[in-house]
Structures are given as C-alpha cells and as structure tokens.
Chain A
Amino acid sequence: MNKVMIKATGPFERIVHWCLAISCLILCASGMVMMYHSLQGFGTLVGGMAAVKTIHNYSGVFFAVSLFLALLVWWKEAGMFSSPEDWQWFKVAGGYLWKVDQMPEIGKYNPGQKLFFLTIVIFGTGMVVSGFFMWFPLGYEPGLIRFMYVLHALGFVIIFAFFWVHLYLVTLGAPGSASAMFTGWVSKGWARTQHPKWLREMEEKGTLVVYGKKGQSGRHC
C-alpha cells in the first residue's frame, strides 16, 4: 500500500457503526422470517419461530441503544445540511449519475450520507417505538397498535431499501470508502475526491493525521 492514508474515524465511531449495522441486519433478517412465510424455514436454524421472535425483540433493544449512541456520535457532523455545497451536491446527484466537471466542495459527510443518517435516525426511532408497542400491545387502543404495525412495516421498506444503497456504494459504487469503517484510514486521494472541504479544513487546522508520518500519533477519536 503506497497510497497516503489519512485518519477518518476513531475506534468508538467504528464500534457504534458496527453495533448499529449488526443489530440492524439481525433485525431485518429475523423480521423478514416472520413477515414472509416462505422464509419460515430459516427459523429452524435458531430453534424455531419463537426463538426468532425473541432474537428480534432483544436485538431491537441492542439497536435502540446503538441508535442513541449513533445520534451522539454523528448528529453534529451528519445531522444538519450545510449550505450551499450540499444543495449543489444534490443538483449534480453527487456525481454518481452523470459526468460532473466541478464537484461541489463537500465536508466530512456528503448530503447523501446525511440523508442516510437522518433516515436511519427517523425511521429507526419509528421502528424502536412501534416495536415496543408491538412487543407489549395489550391494554392500548387497538387503532394505535394497528398504526404501529403500519409504521413498523413502512420503516422496514425504507430502511431495507436504503441498506442496499449503502452496501452498493461502500463496496462497488465508491471504492476506497469501506476502510473508513474497518481500519479507520482512508486514502488522501479518496478524501480529495469525495470530501475535499473536509480534507482542506483538516489541513488548514493542522488536524490531519497521515499514516506513518513522524511526530503524529496514529490515534485520535
């Protein structure tokens, strides 16, 4: 590896990301086994449908905690859109759909990532709330519980679809991204292409951490 690698994420960030990701995947899988009858056979793998339900419910708790931590970690950087570069980014569809000569100056998170984050926050919260009511539905207005079923299903439609967008971009769509959530290091070229404003700001502030460069610690959160 001869590319210049720079520090993109800290260990806590990565742990929170993977807690959220793994719980979300378990929830999607177990939820689908309960939603689609043709997948019921997979329930046998974990000891039957009752176990699937138990796994789903407790993964939901794990997800809720992860979601809360994710909110703390990323709210400042990904929770708000910044003008005007984010709107310009939308106008050129992030450079993903057609050739763009001048890409807008994007910070640490591009508006697509922000949109993904906000979707997870909003619908994830919806999933946690509706899931809680579905877990303990007795004693509430039937109309309320039925609304929670619809909300839960809607949240699944959105989150599951977005998951595939996320997976595609991080693997095939935007090569070089995935390492940010594995090792925490990304190449400088990648940062310049994807998040030029973020790179420039770090260079200006002197917070840029380059792998292997003397006098700089490789750790920061």
Chain B
Amino acid sequence: MKQELIKLIDLSRCTACRGCQVACKQWNELPASETHNFGSYQNPPDLEWNTWTLIRFQEYVDAQGRLQWLFRKDGCMHCTDAGCVKVCPTQALFHTEFGTVALNTDKCIGCKLCIFACPFNVPRFDEETKKISKCDLCQSRLQAGQPPACVLSCPTGALQIGAKDAMLAAAHRRVRELGGDASVYGEQFVEGTHVVYVLPEKAEVFEKLPAKPEIPTSIMVWKDILKPAGLLAAGTVVAGAFLHYITHGPKNPEEEINQEGGTQI
C-alpha cells in the first residue's frame, strides 16, 4: 500500500453549496438526471448510478425544541472490510493502494451482489450499461497526486484529504473543539472507513446513516461459512467414497446364470 488516505468530511463546516456534487459529476463525466421537486433542496432525491455523492438535507428538531438544518455529504465510505469487495465474484471491486475501494467496470458483470452487501447502501446499478457504478474517490486523481474533485471544489474546508493518521487526528481535534454531541464517525466501523465524518450531532440523528454499520450477518454466513463448506462437504464425500471402496468394496450384484442360455461373465 502506497499510503492509506482518508477523506475527512467535517459536517460542521458544510454549507450545502453542493459544489462537491457538481464537481464529482464534472470530473467523472456523469450526466445529470431529470428530477422533480419533493419539497427539499436535496436533489436528486437519492444516490444514483450517475450521482456518486449527494448532499442530504434534513430538518431536525433537537431535544431542546430547536430546529436545525443538517447537511450530510453521502457517498461511498471506502471501507477496509468492504462488503462489496467481499462478495464481488469477478474482483471488479477492489482495494486500491490508498485503501480506497475502486471499480473496474470492464470486469463488472452486473450481478448486483454488492448492492446488498454494502452496509451504507451505496452501489447503484446502471440499467443502460448493466453495470454497477459508485464513487472511486477519484482514483485517477489520487494516482496523479491530486485531491478528489469534491475535495478540490469545497469552499469552506469541510472536505479534506490526507494521510490516515493526520486526518484522524484532525477529526478528533475538531470534535473536541465542537464539544456537545459531536463525534468522529467511520474509524470504528468495518475495520475503519477511508471516508470519515466529523458529525456535529449524534450519528443516530442523521437520516440514512447507520449507527453501527457492519457487513450483514447473512453475507458473512454465506462467504465465511457456506463458501468453504461447499468444498469441504464435497471433499469429505469424495474421501469417504474412496475409503468405502478400499475397505468395504462395491456392492456387486449376484449375477444369475442365464437359464435361457447365457453365462455369468
């Protein structure tokens, strides 16, 4: 691994200008979708195959009855223990030298397994290309030593990218500054995400943000137990059959001599 990077999203500094959303589309050549007004500035309403990052707008009334307008930049969290990488049958989804999770679309067969293995509900299916689509943290830019498009576009410093330790230290520093219910979100889950939030409120407060993200148990049962069990069971049977043959031997029929003229062979 070259250097493990973390993108830090300090939501206390986010003004929801959506510059990151536009910069992402521009750099990754993702077209806009025709959407409709559903009574929120949030647009499009959810992540899409062509919207890898999205500012979620949320009206939240806290315990003291104060109305707050919360913004959250949603997108791939680039897990270390990534459910999508775990289930991908063709290794189209893979960990990069930066610890992030990128996608080789040439290898993607559109099986959609990753959609259901992701604890953050991130991967989207493109009906036209029949392939999965998601943020790769601007892998081409990282390789060129450039920050991702979203980070570059951010006017308030809510987005930063840097070495893992430095970013985590900055995140904790900021949380101490903010006090109250502020917390660092990401390093404690799925062996550490490579996108880390500074949340100004408790994680539970934010819509569509799992309080305890983890790879679903069913996915673990499938990949960690049943997958090896398939080979183990078959191997046991083959070994058992061999053992049976050399100890007990086959069950030979008691051939009768053909009364109509045949003989036992």
Contact = CB atoms under 8 A, between A and B. Distances in A.
A binds B: yes
Given A96-B251, A149-B116, A160 B234 contact: yes
B32 interface: no
A153 B237 contact: no
Q: Decide if the interface of chain A is mainly helix, strand, loop or mixed.
A: helix
Contacts of A162: 237
A146 B244 contact: no
B253 A193 contact: yes
Interface residues of A, number: 56
A137 B251 contact: no
A192 B112 CA distance: 53
Closest 5 CB pairs of A and B: A2-B262, A189-B255, A190-B253, A168-B241, A153-B226
Interface string B244-257: 11001011111110
Contact of B89 (A34, A164, A165, A187): A34
A175 B237 contact: no
Given A161-B233, A173-B244, A191-B253, 19 more contacts: A4-B262, A32-B230, A37-B91, A52-B109, A96-B251, A134-B111, A142-B216, A146-B222, A153-B227, A154-B226, A156-B230, A158-B233, A160-B234, A164-B238, A168-B244, A176-B252, A189-B255, A192-B254, A210-B260
Nearest to A189: B255
A2 B237 contact: no
Contacts of A154: 226
B226 A161 contact: no
Nearest to A156: B230
Interface in A163-185: 163-165, 168, 172-176
B163 interface: no
A20 to B, nearest CB: 19
Contact of B241 (A146, A157, A165, A189): A165
Interface of A: 1-4, 32, 34-37, 40, 43, 49-50, 52-53, 95-98, 134, 137-138, 142-143, 145-147, 149-150, 153-154, 156-158, 160-165, 168, 172-176, 187-194, 210, 213
A146 B245 CA distance: 40
Contacts of B68: none
A49 B107 contact: yes
Contacts of A189: 253-256
A194 B254 CA distance: 9
A95 B233 contact: no
A40 B90 contact: yes
